[in-house]
Structure 1
Amino acid sequence: MDIFLSINNRKQIIQLPIVPSEFKIASPMNNETFTTINQGDIKVIGRRGLKSLTIESFFPSKHYPFSRNRAYKGWEYVEIIESWIGKRVPIRLIITNTPINLAMTIENFDYGPQDGSGDIYYSLSLSEFKFINLDKKKVK
């Protein structure tokens, strides 16, 4: 399994060098509960909410044999992701060997060194981005 992040239809792509051992995708529902006089609480099934996930791993400062990608080192990954945040564009998340291929927004990006190795540990929180499709109508 590999994790790829990209922007602008794969114009710029990064492959995460160290794949986390686990991740979970939250897939919420927008259900609502109402209290009625005769029946008490009732549940109304809503539409699906936006999926989200958090990736926690590290960007290596040197080449490790278990690294999936050696295109960049440590802080270079941080600079790329920070530049994407500055561009205010959705990113594409692809996780190979899974059906996961989602447009996402970066909700939070925490990073920093922690163990003296020079590696940059990070937590990247992503939320699903839905492209808006508006129906075009002709004015007569």
Structure 2
Amino acid sequence: MEEYGFFLSFNELEDLFRLPVNPETLEIKESGDSKSYTIVDLGEINAIAYPKLTEITIESIFPAQHYPFVLVRSEGPNRLLRPFEYVEMIQKWMKSRRPIRFVLSGVSLKGEQDNSAVPNDLALNMAMSIESFTWKLSAGTSGDIEYSLSLKKYVFYQASPVKIVKGEAKTEPKRASDKAAPKTYTMKAGDSLWSIAKKILGDGQKYKVIQKLNGIKDSELKKLPIGKVLKLP
């Protein structure tokens, strides 16, 4: 007998199980990443980009007993697991932060005495990340778990090492000002020879040069009147 089967595996078949109950519907979302722009005198245009990653949503149950519609055997290597065993396995995969493999295929069941299910006429086979997993105990049942599993196609990639050469920071020397320094200065309130030398000559210690050039005695330094015009070097 041939029928469709849904398989989830992890780490090169280290873990593998077939969904015991096929979902009534399988939602597969494939969309583009186009963007619209409005151009003056042209109107709206659409820039077609690469398609987004495929998304798949599965909704079904993990049954607590072997109902007639359950697709796996009650015994053997592919036996029906307890509902919480499925939940714990998916939770373990999520915590690993590694992709799983999703397979949808036609399977041939070899007979009542053979519990194996062999994939045939492969339909879908892709690495996927688990985006979300929600589950709850079904009301009025003997332990069945309803679940919703959202998957997104995973693209394997490897980052190439980049060698960064640390360069020396170069600073441009400050260019001398082209502005000529004033030859005289008129004193204002709060001025002193030291502050004038600092502001005009760039060094407050050069106040003695201004003092000598203007014939100012030491006793007059603190009595210089506002409005006095000083000659500058």
TM-score normalized by structure 2? 0.56
Please say which structure displays the higher CA radius of gyration: 2
1:4-83 equivalences in 2 (<5 Å): 4-69=7-72, 70-83=79-92
Question: How far apart, in 2, do the equivalents of 1:39 and 1:20 lie?
Answer: 47
Q: Partner letter of residue 86 of structure 1?
A: K
Question: How far apart, in 2, do the equivalents of 1:60 and 1:15 lie?
Answer: 13
Question: How far apart, in 1, do the equivalents of 2:149 and 2:123 lie?
Answer: 20
1:2 partner SS = strand
Question: How far apart, in 2, do the equivalents of 1:25 and 1:131 lie?
Answer: 20
Specify which of 142, 147, 152 is matched with residue 122 of structure 1.
147
Runs of 4+ that moved beyond 2 A: 133-137
Specify which of 91, 103, 109 is matched with residue 127 of structure 2.
103
Q: Partner letter of residue 66 of structure 2?
A: H
Question: How far apart, in 2, do the equivalents of 1:135 and 1:107 lie?
Answer: 26
| 2:137 maps to 1:113 | yes
Q: Partner letter of residue 19 of structure 2?
A: L
Q: Which has the higher helix share?
A: 2
CA shift in 2, pair 1:83/1:29, >3 Å:
same
Specify which of 131, 136, 139 is matched with residue 156 of structure 2.
131
- Displacement of 1:48 after TM fit? 1.0
Question: How far apart, in 2, do the equivalents of 1:79 and 1:136 lie?
Answer: 36
- Displacement of 1:135 after TM fit? 6.9
| 2:111 maps to 1:87 | no
Question: How far apart, in 2, do the equivalents of 1:56 and 1:14 lie?
Answer: 16
Alignment size in residue pairs: 137
Higher relative CO (Cα under 8 Å, sequence separation at least 6) belongs to 1
- Displacement of 1:116 after TM fit? 2.4
TM-score normalized by structure 1? 0.91
Query: Is the contact made by 2:66 and 2:80 (CA closer than 8 Å) also made in structure 1?
Result: no
Q: Partner letter of residue 41 of structure 1?
A: E
Unaligned runs of 5+ in 2: 73-78, 107-121, 163-233
Question: How far apart, in 1, do the equivalents of 2:95 and 2:131 lie?
Answer: 12
